[in-house]
A and B are shown apart, each in its own frame.
Chain A
Amino acid sequence: DTEVTQTPKHLVMGMTNKKSLKCEQHMGHRAMYWYKQKAKKPPELMFVYSYEKLSINESVPSRFSPECPNSSLLNLHLHALQPEDSALYLCASSQGGDSYEQYFGPGTRLTVT
């Protein structure tokens, strides 16, 4: 199984809502990532978890809160988002620190109204 799955595929939320994005992989990978991608732009790294510990936070606003409940799961909790947060949110995983290949999920397309 070389797949990263993400749910939901699409999400529309108001600025006062709280929602969560979910990511799962069963490849035994020990590093997991959240990226944000705006239309016609490259993916931008948000967070990295390594061995279930947060190792990189790219100065992301606190309205985005990541969580790694176990080595296969990664969540992104969303609260009080702004319309400019509308984007494709991509999850990725890799074997670990020595691995250069990242496997991406299909993403969650988020619209904030």
Chain B
Amino acid sequence: GQSLEQPSEVTAVEGAIVQINCTYQTSGFYGLSWYQQHDGGAPTFLSYNGLDGLEETGRFSSFLSRSDSYGYLLLQELQMKDSASYFCAPRIDSYKLIFGSGTRLLVRP
């Protein structure tokens, strides 16, 4: 079976840094993806970690520790437009992503 945990909601102020954690237990594991979804919108790809360590893409960074079955998404210099849902999604085979329940991020002025 598959098990994923991420916080349901996070609130932060504009300009701050926020970290969204994800722990997983899956039947297979290729790597960990992160997707962003605004209300009424489509999920969009943010980041992928196939190996342990930190990946940085602009204001967003993602980290993976395979031995701990743990990853996080770090969002820096928060902007109002970052208010959205963030999903961690382990890739469990060549094609299959399992989406976590999502973390709703609210950025306040």
Contact = CB atoms under 8 A, between A and B. Distances in A.
Given A42-B87, A101-B48, A56 B41 contact: no
Q: Which of the listed residues A31, A43, A44, A98 has the most CB atoms from chain B within 10 Å of its own CB?
A: A43
Interface of B is mostly: loop
Contacts of B99: 42-44
B96 A48 contact: yes
Query: What band does the interface of chain A fall in when counting residues whose beta carbon is under 8 Å from B?
Result: 20 to 34
Contacts, number: 48
B3 interface: no
Interface of A: 31, 33, 40-45, 48, 50, 55-56, 90, 94, 97-98, 100-107
Query: What band does the interface of chain B fall in when counting residues whose beta carbon is under 8 Å from A?
Result: 20 to 34
A106 B37 CA distance: 11
Nearest to A50: B95
28 contacts: A41-B101, A41-B102, A42-B99, A42-B100, A43-B43, A43-B87, A43-B99, A45-B97, A45-B98, A48-B95, A48-B96, A50-B95, A56-B95, A56-B96, A90-B42, A94-B95, A97-B94, A97-B95, A100-B30, A100-B33, A100-B48, A101-B33, A101-B45, A104-B43, A104-B44, A105-B42, A106-B41, A106-B42
Nearest to A104: B42
A109 to B, nearest CB: 9
Given A45-B97, A50-B95, A98-B94, A107 B42 contact: yes
B101 A42 contact: yes
A103 B46 CA distance: 11
Given A45-B97, A97-B95, 9 more contacts: A33-B95, A41-B101, A42-B102, A43-B43, A43-B87, A48-B95, A102-B45, A102-B97, A105-B42
